[in-house]
Structure 1
Amino acid sequence: MSLRTVVFCAVGVLFMYAMFTTGAPFLLALVIAIFLEHPIQWLMQVGRMSRPLAATVICTLFTAAMLGFCYLIGFKIFSELIQFWNNAPNYLNESQRFFESTSERTQIFYSTLPSGMSQQLQGLVETGYSTLSENIKGIVAAVSTYFLGIAKLIPNLLVFFVVFVVGLYLISLSLPALHNSFLNLFENKSQSKMISVLNDLRRALLGFLFAQVLLSFLTYVVTLIGLLLLRIDYPLAIALLIVIVDVLPVLGTSAVLIPWALYCMLSGNMFLGIGLLILLVVIMLFRRLVEPKIIGNAVGINALAALISMYIGFEWIGVIGLFLGPVLIIVYQALRRVGLLQINIKLD
């Protein structure tokens, strides 16, 4: 491999990392603009519109549909969250009454035992209660910190959304010009190869975006079905919360379901507690088994390559690596296919 190729690959990796982090709203706007290009071209031909007018109409319809969908889903979920929050004091009171009744029954049980055994058993139980209390406090503190962080991110999300919408309009207006400007960076004989690489990358990125949406939707459906079978109140809101936490490697689904199941079992509702643990196992197995296959099929790489690239990417650079890893594999395959990147190992 020549030094020029190494430098090209290094610059490309750094550029893609920057696009997946700081430039995320522009990258998302570019992907959506590519997705909307066919409707724009259709409207230009059928409606005999200019590109600025057609792009404005399509982008406006897309933005309105996205906001409408978020409003309809968000309104229902928000109403359930409000009801859940209003009933939270009742849940805390039930928990307090449970521990008080358990303490009274424990004292009665101690009185029937010999003094030495009673003191020893009481010490073990108190130690267990202390450990459990500390763990619950830690979980509550972690969850509170997490939701506080989400609340602090709301202004950033608003800025992200505004930049994304503005970027979507601007990129859609000038997408052909941007495409030609990028191709002019290469020699004439290399432009056809880059067009092939861009086509592969476009198909892969759209497939990857579709795969992530499909995974989140399927996880939401599995979680919602489980909650409905367990007859949980506010299933829509709780299922959404679990799906959101599921995509975060720091907490994961267990951060919601394990404390919940533990509380249910301690309060005597063994059926619900065991059911929540079974639901946790089902969700984890579903994500681990289905995710590599769906992503691999969507972006055009096999499931093993998708799994390895996602794992290595996550270990190296965190959550961004889950998305950047498969994309780098796609770019590498496209460059090799058109002959722009050749790696031949000689042993003699």
Structure 2
Amino acid sequence: MRTLNASRYWREFVLWALLLLAAYAFWRWMATYVLPFVLAGTLAWFVLPLVERLEDFGLGRVWAVLLSLGGVMATLVVLSGAILLLLTAELVQASHRLPTYLKSRPFGIAKAFHEWNRLRDQLGLGRGSFSQEINSLYRMLTVVVKSVGHLLVVLPEMALMMVVAVVAAFFILRDYPRILTWMRRISPPALRRSMGRFTTMMAGGLWGYVRAELALVSLTALTTAGGLLLIRAPYAVLVGLMAGLLDLVSFMGPTIVLVPWAAGAAVAGHWPLSIHLLLVLAAVAVVRQLSEPRLVGQGTGLHPLVVLFSLYMGIRLFGGVGVIVGPVTAVILNAVRQVRDRA
């Protein structure tokens, strides 16, 4: 009996080790090639209930798919356009105010460097020369410009990926019953019973993860806007919205908005505003870090410790994108475990 238990233990150990290696290999070397079709499957899964509802009203399958996908994409386009228009309007307003601001403060730059050197003296760092500060600013701007340039370079590739995903989602939705039958036919007989349970559990976990991420984005936006309103900072709602949207990108969120703002306020000599902005950023970071494991854990059915471990390992292995890769992998492995336990 002891030998049997030991043999079963080692079989389980090898199985899960192979699954982890397969997951790592997929995310490391294969994900970029199949990502459009993963997105297509996800989009199709979300839109499928709407397609079936339209079919209940008497629409044909093709028209139901076209109307559903068209409605979802049109909603996304309208929301994105509204956000871009709002940002453009605020930027135009800021550009109109900038010349007046610069004219009213002819000695602002000299005062800013004086305040900066005084801060360095208080911190025991010594005074920095004008050329050194300009070089530091130049290096920082170079990094920002390179990041923006990289984003512009990959935009066509991202656009192509989205087009392929939408077209693939159309075919998946149109031929969903036949695709489902074909997948069951090619799957091993021993797995056909558990295939449906695995799909349901995995889809439920992934949907819970998406809901948790949306909740975290909303929490970031509300916390940022609330903190800015509390310190009476301008454009609180707009900045909160930007922080929430940027929170969809790993390690960005309010940091990329509030840190430059705080740095600019410090250079201009507005130290209270700079300190208040950094306090708002710290509060948002604390709220998000405390909420993320719990929200993701509740949405995916995973223990918060497992979520925290998957986030950490995802970031360590894959960088910023690991924030998504880690929990998604944990959700899939958890679905495999549940199916095996019920088998």
Q: Write the distance in 2 (CA, Å) between the matches of 1:244 and 1:289.
A: 19
Contact 1:95–1:267, Cα closer than 8 Å, also in 2: no
Partner of 2:308: 307
Q: Aligned to 1:127, what secondary structure does the other structure show?
A: coil
Shift of 1:242: 3.4
Listed as ranges, the matches of 1:128-207 within 5 Å are: 132-207=133-208
- Seen in structure 2, the aligned counterparts of structure 1 residues 25 and 220 have a Cα distance that, compared at 3 Å, is farther
Listed as ranges, the matches of 1:6-85 within 5 Å are: 10-11=21-22, 14-15=25-26, 20-45=31-56, 47-85=57-95
CA RMSD, 1 decimal: 3.5
Q: Write the distance in 1 (CA, Å) between the matches of 2:96 and 2:317.
A: 42
Q: Which has the larger radius of gyration?
A: 1
Shift of 1:151: 3.1
- Seen in structure 2, the aligned counterparts of structure 1 residues 81 and 153 have a Cα distance that, compared at 3 Å, is farther
- Seen in structure 2, the aligned counterparts of structure 1 residues 143 and 104 have a Cα distance that, compared at 3 Å, is closer
Q: Aligned to 1:139, what secondary structure does the other structure show?
A: helix
Q: Write the distance in 1 (CA, Å) between the matches of 2:169 and 2:115.
A: 64
Percent identical across equivalent pairs?
Answer: 24
Q: Write the distance in 2 (CA, Å) between the matches of 1:81 and 1:64.
A: 25
Q: Write the distance in 2 (CA, Å) between the matches of 1:206 and 1:303.
A: 17
CA shift digits 1:58-100 (9 cap, x unpaired): 2222222222222223221222133334545566667872232
Shift of 1:36: 1.7
Question: Comparing both chains, which one has the higher relative contact order based on Cα–Cα distances under 8 Å and sequence gaps of 6 or more?
Answer: 1
> What amino acid is the match of 1:84?
A
Shift of 1:144: 2.8
**Which ranges in structure 2 are unaligned for 5 or more consecutive residues?**
1-10
Shift of 1:200: 0.5
Of 165-174 and 277-286, deviating more is 165-174
Q: Write the distance in 2 (CA, Å) between the matches of 1:176 and 1:196.
A: 17
Shift of 1:304: 1.1
Q: Write the distance in 2 (CA, Å) between the matches of 1:225 and 1:20.
A: 38
Partner of 1:100: 110
Q: Write the distance in 2 (CA, Å) between the matches of 1:84 and 1:61.
A: 35
Q: Write the distance in 1 (CA, Å) between the matches of 2:302 and 2:15.
A: 27
- Seen in structure 2, the aligned counterparts of structure 1 residues 19 and 48 have a Cα distance that, compared at 3 Å, is farther
**Which ranges in structure 1 are unaligned for 5 or more consecutive residues?**
110-119, 343-348
- Give TM-score, length-normalised by structure 1: 0.79
Q: Aligned to 1:22, what secondary structure does the other structure show?
A: helix
> What amino acid is the match of 2:196?
I
Shift of 1:30: 1.2
Partner of 1:117: none
Q: Write the distance in 2 (CA, Å) between the matches of 1:104 and 1:290.
A: 41
- Seen in structure 2, the aligned counterparts of structure 1 residues 288 and 182 have a Cα distance that, compared at 3 Å, is same
Contact 1:258–1:277, Cα closer than 8 Å, also in 2: yes
Shift of 1:131: 5.0
- Give TM-score, length-normalised by structure 2: 0.80
Shift of 1:178: 2.3
> What amino acid is the match of 2:313?
I
Q: Write the distance in 1 (CA, Å) between the matches of 2:136 and 2:76.
A: 41
Partner of 1:208: 209
Q: Write the distance in 2 (CA, Å) between the matches of 1:136 and 1:164.
A: 40
Partner of 2:282: 281
Contact 2:262–2:275, Cα closer than 8 Å, also in 1: yes
Shift of 1:51: 2.1
CA shift digits 1:289-337 (9 cap, x unpaired): 1111111111111111111101101111223322222222222222222
Q: Write the distance in 2 (CA, Å) between the matches of 1:184 and 1:22.
A: 25
- Number of aligned residue pairs: give it: 327
